[in-house]
Structure 1
């Protein structure tokens, strides 16, 4: 296998460490919805380029094994000369791919198990439309995604409802409904699964969680028509829920993330698409990094194509 191709693949596997800071920087300049979609899209692209690069190494190794299985001839002799390095590299690529697959399957099972356990805890509780009220308990509220044909629900404890006045409850319910309507849990699941392909992607999860909460905050503020009221309600609900257990990202909760930053943003003007050199620089950096990552990972496919042509040339002699 061409040494240059191996080096390109290695660089492709290292490059996401540079792409992640660029994606986070750009997300900080965008409105919450655009920021969340940018983070999720970046995670998918970086994970995909990693798997593509590793797959190219494995495909080259399989072709090499096919040549070694030939009954003598120039092709087999040529392949045997480079077997140790080629097969070692392909074997390493296969091992990493199997680890990635195993991690993704385990994460996917954990995600489903979490939803199933949470749905079991709310079965039999008072249910009105999309709202499930859990009697008693510490103040808590979160969005429970739909599962196995059941539509999503807003789960709120009676303790949380008692601690808020009617306007604040309206903000709370609008916030959690925004999570369900925007299917925010799917974006969280996507980034979590993508992190199995490359550890650098994990750094996108906290920023995504923050942007999803900001997205729901803005939707709630728009629903009640009062940004100051929304900010006050978010602060009160988050403070009340501070004693509740920390919710996984698949169960978005109003008390998630750096609440002071969220409240400060709500006290300011509604976010819009910014302009200026900072945005252009961050967007350009992200596009360049992601594009280069894709080009580098494609080096394995190009190398495999050259490898096939080389084999055909030797066999044709």
Structure 2
């Protein structure tokens, strides 16, 4: 059964690669939802495996198997349970730190935006630095589009409209919630970091397409993205998940996509392939988590019956499975 647990822990590496390939075949909006769902499922499967491994001694006690007997028969049970518990504790600490950092970044962003001049949902902040980003709502305050005077001077009037539409798309789509969800799940398993980077790109593509649709000119939208990126300093992934900047992400890929035709909704073979890949990933993650949880209980019950000399029931199936694979507890 340990083989199944370790397979569940290793599965996110495969799942993240599959989810990334599926996302590239989907329109930006669909890709963002697929990546977010995949990250949550992969994190959930990882936590299920660790919690199950951590509770093996407890499950053995439920079967009236003393801890001393358990350790004698399965010498690795306490080290493995301890390692699982330590990983769960570490993940909890990292998750709390990441969440607090998110809240701190958002608070500081609102404090720095207080010097801006409001015009509807737009805050113009004085300064030579060229920047623009979507500032999500905080403590009852609605979300705002923050743009510096330096960025305004760097863009033509029609390009400013593209920039504002881009950031409004981030706010309207509540993209910060998707970004936060994947960023937090990345503390559970390192493979999810790959999905976080992919999501950052597809979120920008989603906002780009919404901006191009709003202004009705894809070439102007592409020029605005390129000019805003040149005017602003390179930030990689931006200042943090609350601040979704128009200058972040792989800008050349975004510009190239805007110079091409608008992405159509998935249909025909592409739609079937995308939906099949996504459904397969979801189903596999769910089945692994359920089989791992049920199988772990059955494995402990079977082993306890064998050790205590009690006739085994249908649990013999799991014992036979372990004997064939050579991963039995004893």
TM-score normalised per structure 2: 0.85
Distance in 2 (CA, whole Å) between partners of 1:61 and 1:192 is 32
Partner residue in 2 for 1:191: 182
- TM superposition shift of 1:280: 4.5
Cα deviations across residues 157-189 of structure 1 (Å, max 9, x unaligned)?
Answer: 111112222211111111100001111111111
The question of whether the paired residues in 2 share the 8 Å contact of 1:19 and 1:290 is answered with no
Map 1:1-317 to 2 at 5 A.
Answer: 5-64=1-60, 78-79=69-70, 81-242=72-233, 246-275=238-267, 280-281=272-273, 283-306=275-298, 307-308=300-301, 311=304, 314=308
Q: Does the residue aligned with 1:149 lie in a helix, a strand or coil? A: coil
Distance in 2 (CA, whole Å) between partners of 1:38 and 1:12 is 20
- TM superposition shift of 1:83: 4.9
- TM superposition shift of 1:310: 5.8
The question of whether the paired residues in 1 share the 8 Å contact of 2:229 and 2:247 is answered with yes
Alpha-carbon RMSD = 2.5
- TM superposition shift of 1:210: 0.8
Cα deviations across residues 255-312 of structure 1 (Å, max 9, x unaligned)?
Answer: 1111121111112211113446566456544543443343333343123431246657
**Higher RCO, 1 or 2 (CA under 8 Å, sep at least 6)?**
1
Cα deviations across residues 52-103 of structure 1 (Å, max 9, x unaligned)?
Answer: 1111112222233566xx7xxx766753533532222211111111111111
Distance in 1 (CA, whole Å) between partners of 2:230 and 2:282 is 39
Moved more, 255-264 or 194-203: 255-264
**1:283 to 1:244, Cα distance in 2 relative to 1, 3 A:** closer
Moved more, 292-301 or 133-142: 292-301
Distance in 2 (CA, whole Å) between partners of 1:94 and 1:86 is 12
**1:224 to 1:278, Cα distance in 2 relative to 1, 3 A:** closer
